[in-house]
């Protein structure tokens, strides 16, 4: 008789439990995250003044190299490096003693020549009186006339010599030609200067007022001349007329410095197709320095209709150009290509691609991508000064 082994009761029980649990487990299903909240606002409608935005550089109103025009030992430096100087202030002194001695010689020679001329003139007067009464020959009269004329010419020659000697004495004192800042001296006291030609001692720069130089393309030239004509401004004049210009440093978001157009070049450069212009700005505190790169803003004719403005930070840029993110009627985020205009405060004018009733994403721009559903939250675009 063969005995059969009974199956393990507990093993069967465990196997049944495993099968039961496997049959009850729910499958893995992806649950999308809830839509992101995006701050949206209608574009701000506001009247603005269109502007022409350019880039330029600053240059000194006046700049000159201070040089020693006579040879000698540099005796004094009478200013502190980087100090302000007024017109006529003496800045450098070259040893004047040799030139003062030459001036004394020239003045003495001039005095002797004047004395000789006085004697020759008196002699000619006497000979003329004698010749009238036939007491003096014609030859003697001619000789006295020649002596007088020679003495007179000698007076003129010695006067010129004295003038030149006085100029050399004046050149020993190098003075400021205008009000401005003097750079660090380049020659120390005790050095011989003026040997073989003028020696540069320092540079003087006038920064108040200051020039801003910039160029316009041919299209901008035609646009601005047309605008000036509408406003009866002398835009065709090379002097610029009373055309206001604003300026901002590269670290300034606005253009807070106000000046006037000073010069318009009469010819367009055919190589670059640009026209050079220059504006002048007050700079009493020397905030603006020559050599700075700046942005130039020229206001044009104010618009009669309103423009659409959005925060400048809401505008994105890629290889295809500039765009905004707009929430449509189905609360789907869309990418909208736009054309932009000038910056007004922290708002940017949108010239095309946007409607007044479009809901523009202005907050939470990184929370969703175009094509995703979002939860729009009402926001507001604050008005700015046009």
| Predicted local distance difference test score (pLDDT) of residue 26 | 59
Residues 288 and 341 in one domain: no
Q: How far is CA 237 from CA 52, 234, 277, in A?
A: 19, 5, 11
| Predicted local distance difference test score (pLDDT) of residue 2 | 46
Domain of residue 284: give its range.
Answer: 52-60+206-299
Confirm whether 178 is domain-assigned.
no
Q: Which residue has the higher pLDDT, 380 or 386?
A: 380
Q: Is the pLDDT of residue 76 over 90?
A: yes
For the residues 276-298, what does the mean pLDDT come to? 92
Query: Looking at the 3D structure of the chain, how many domains does it have?
Result: 3
Q: Is the pLDDT of residue 57 over 80?
A: yes
Q: Is the pLDDT of residue 196 over 50?
A: yes
For the residues 21-26, what does the mean pLDDT come to? 54
| Predicted local distance difference test score (pLDDT) of residue 279 | 93
| Predicted local distance difference test score (pLDDT) of residue 1 | 42
pLDDT over 70, % of the chain: 85
| Predicted local distance difference test score (pLDDT) of residue 34 | 83
Pairing of strands 274-281, 333-337: unpaired
Confirm whether 292 is domain-assigned.
yes
Of 38, 4, 39, 31, nearest in space to 381 by CA:
39
Q: Which residue has the higher pLDDT, 12 or 332?
A: 332
Q: Which residue has the higher pLDDT, 18 or 293?
A: 293
Span of 122-131, 167-176, 216-225 with lowest mean pLDDT = 122-131
Confirm whether 261 is domain-assigned.
yes
Q: Is the pLDDT of residue 233 over 90?
A: no
Q: Is the peptide bond prior to 209 cis by the omega test (within 30 degrees of 0)?
A: yes
Span of 78-82, 83-87, 136-140, 322-326 with lowest mean pLDDT = 136-140
| Predicted local distance difference test score (pLDDT) of residue 298 | 84
Residues 290 and 317 in one domain: no
Confirm whether 189 is domain-assigned.
no
Confirm whether 68 is domain-assigned.
no
| Predicted local distance difference test score (pLDDT) of residue 364 | 85
Torsion angle, alpha carbons of 137, 143, 148, 154, to 10 = 180
Span of 78-92, 124-138, 186-200 with lowest mean pLDDT = 124-138
Residues 226 and 252 in one domain: yes
> pTM to 2 decimals?
0.67
Q: How far is CA 233 from CA 246, 274, 299, in A?
A: 17, 21, 12
Confirm whether 229 is domain-assigned.
yes
Residues 245 and 319 in one domain: no
Output the domain CATH number for residue 263: 2.40.30.170
Cα angle 309, 311, 315 (rounded to 5 degrees) comes to 100
For the residues 15-31, what does the mean pLDDT come to? 59
Residues 210 and 294 in one domain: yes
Q: Is the pLDDT of residue 77 over 80?
A: yes
Residues 162 and 211 in one domain: no
Confirm whether 199 is domain-assigned.
no
The pLDDT confidence band at residue 3, using thresholds 50, 70 and 90, is very low
Q: Is the pLDDT of residue 43 over 70?
A: yes
| Predicted local distance difference test score (pLDDT) of residue 47 | 79
Q: Is the pLDDT of residue 81 over 90?
A: yes
| Predicted local distance difference test score (pLDDT) of residue 10 | 53
Output the domain CATH number for residue 331: 2.40.420.20
The pLDDT confidence band at residue 16, using thresholds 50, 70 and 90, is low
Average pLDDT, the chain: 83
Residues 162 and 111 in one domain: yes
Q: Is the pLDDT of residue 5 over 60?
A: no
| Predicted local distance difference test score (pLDDT) of residue 171 | 92
Residues 295 and 211 in one domain: yes
Residues 242 and 282 in one domain: yes
pLDDT in tens, 100-133: 999 999 889 888 888 888 888 787 777 777 767 7
Q: Which of 299, 327, 357 is the last residue of a domain?
A: 299
Q: Is the pLDDT of residue 300 over 70?
A: yes
Q: Is the pLDDT of residue 15 over 60?
A: no
Residues 322 and 291 in one domain: no
């Amino acid at each position: 008789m063969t005995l059969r082994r009974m199956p393990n009761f507990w093993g069967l029980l465990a196997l049944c439990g495993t099968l039961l649990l496997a049959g009850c487990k729910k499958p893995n299903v992806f649950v999308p995250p809830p839509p992101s909240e995006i701050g949206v606002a209608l574009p701000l409608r506001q009247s603005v003044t269109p502007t022409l935005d350019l880039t330029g550089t600053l240059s000194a109103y006046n700049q000159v190299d201070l040089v020693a025009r006579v040879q000698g030992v540099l005796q004094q430096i009478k200013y502190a490096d980087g100090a302000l100087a007024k017109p006529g202030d003496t800045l450098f002194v070259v040893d004047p003693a040799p030139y003062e001695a030459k001036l004394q010689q020239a003045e003495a020679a001039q005095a002797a020549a004047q004395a000789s001329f006085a004697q020759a003139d008196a002699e000619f007067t006497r000979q003329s009186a004698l010749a009238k009464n036939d007491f003096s020959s014609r030859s003697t009269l001619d000789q006295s006339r020649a002596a007088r004329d020679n003495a007179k010419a000698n007076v003129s020659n010695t006067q010129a010599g004295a003038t030149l000697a006085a100029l050399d004495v004046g050149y020993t004192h190098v003075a400021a030609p205008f009000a401005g800042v003097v750079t660090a001296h380049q020659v120390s006291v005790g050095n011989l200067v003026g040997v073989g030609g003028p020696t540069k001692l320092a540079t003087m720069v006038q920064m108040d007022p200051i020039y801003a130089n910039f160029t316009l393309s041919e299209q901008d030239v035609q646009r601005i001349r047309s605008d000036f004509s509408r406003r009866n401004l002398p835009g065709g004049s090379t002097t610029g007329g009373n055309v206001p210009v604003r300026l901002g440093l590269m670290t300034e978001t606005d253009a807070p410095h106000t000046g006037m157009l000073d010069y318009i070049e009469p010819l367009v450069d055919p190589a670059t197709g640009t026209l050079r212009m220059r504006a002048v700005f007050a700079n009493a505190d020397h905030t603006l320095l020559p050599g700075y790169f700046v942005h130039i803003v020229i206001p044009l004719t104010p618009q009669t209709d309103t423009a659409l403005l959005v925060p400048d930070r809401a505008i994105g840029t890629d290889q295809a150009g500039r765009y905004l993110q707009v929430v449509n009627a189905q609360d789907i985020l869309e990418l909208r290509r736009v054309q932009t205009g000038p910056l007004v405060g922290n708002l940017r004018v949108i010239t095309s691609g946007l409607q007044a009733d479009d809901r523009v994403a202005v907050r939470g721009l990184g929370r969703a991508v175009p094509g995703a559903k979002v939860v729009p939250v009402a926001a507001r675009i604050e008005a700015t000064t046009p």
